Structures are given as C-alpha cells and as structure tokens.
Amino acid sequence: ILAGLAVLFVLYMLILWVLGRRSPFFFVKNTYDALLLAFSTSSSAAVMPLSIRIADERLGVRPSLSQFIIPLGATINMAGTALYQGGATIFLAQVYEVDLSLASLALVVATAVSTSIGAPATPGVGIVILATILESAGIPASGVAILIGVDRILDMARTSLNVTGDLTACVVTVSYTHLRAHETKAN
C-alpha cells in the first residue's frame, strides 16, 4: 500500500510539473505544513482551512478557486483511500484463500472507487468502508481485524496523499486558467 501511495505521489508531482508548470520541490516546500498536518491528523477536513490558506498565499491560487476545489477534493478526491481498499481486499482474499476472478477484481476496484467518493474526511473511515467491500467480494468482514493494527499508519499516509491531490488540482487549475487567458488575449 505504501509503495502504491508513493507511486501516486510521484504521479501527482509529474502532473504538477507538466500540467501545472511548477517545480515539485517548490510545491513540497510550500505545502509541507498541510501535508504534515494531514499526516498527523488523518483528516482531510481538519486540514482544509490550512490547505486553503496555503493555496492562496503560497501557491498563488485565487481564493474563489481554492475555496471551491479544496472542499470538493476533500469530498471526492480519495485516491489514497481507494488504493488502500483495493489493496487490502486483495491481501485479505489471499489470507482467506478466496479466489478473485477478473470480474471480481473489477468489481472490487469499482466499489472501492465509488465508495471512496463522498466518504467522510474523518480518520478511520476507510476501514469501515472496507468491511462493506470485503462482504461484496465474498471475503469475511472479520478480516478487518487483521488490518486494524496498521490502519492508522496507512490512514496517515493516504490522507497526506489525498491532500497532495487537492493542492495539485488547485495549481493545475490556476495554470489552465492562465493558459486560457493568454489564448484569449492572443485571439
């Protein structure tokens, strides 16, 4: 799970560099406070005011954009949570020796993505949603007990990734609006 979250972080940094036209080092340096708070609280909702302030003051995002994108992202941008739920389901399927067909894997992915959209931005909610996904895949929900010991650490990492995605979306949107403004002036 941590390796998958690291890959998604690198992907966000590439998106930031290519589409947002910003250095990943500049981004991490200026968003470090929000990422650290996300890591320590495991709550996108708790980080929202700081993320908005950082987007406005350090990343050059207009308040009207940051106040729309960050709360929206805290609600629907749960890529880290979806990755965790999919990976945990596959892990528990192996533990319980449940053979998941390709169709079952597709269902797990679809369910993980759809349930993570709109999930509350509070600590520990991913483990509750995971129990539902496990039941739909024919895996005993009691398997959640195996993950409880490491869930807090994984929750901290996936929340940091989710906040990174929200702030990346702000920067990319600003870059896109600047590009569109220059195109309009050129015409």
Tens-digit pLDDT profile for residues 49-108 = 999 999 999 999 999 999 999 999 988 888 988 899 899 999 999 999 999 899 988 988
Higher pLDDT, 96 or 126: 96
Residue 32 has a pLDDT of 97
Q: Which range, 96-100, 142-146, 165-169, 173-177, has the best average confidence (pLDDT)?
A: 165-169
180 CB burial (10 A radius; 0-12, 13-18, 19+): exposed
Higher pLDDT, 14 or 127: 14
pLDDT tens figures, 7-39 = 999 999 999 999 999 999 999 999 999 999 999
Q: What 3-state DSSP class applies to 62?
A: coil
**Rounded CA separation 53/63 (Å):** 8
Residue 40 has a pLDDT of 96
Residue 118 has a pLDDT of 72
pLDDT at 121 over 70: no
Is the separation of the CB atoms in 5 and 80 below 8 Å? Answer: yes
Is the separation of the CB atoms in 168 and 77 below 8 Å? Answer: no
**Rounded CA separation 80/42 (Å):** 12
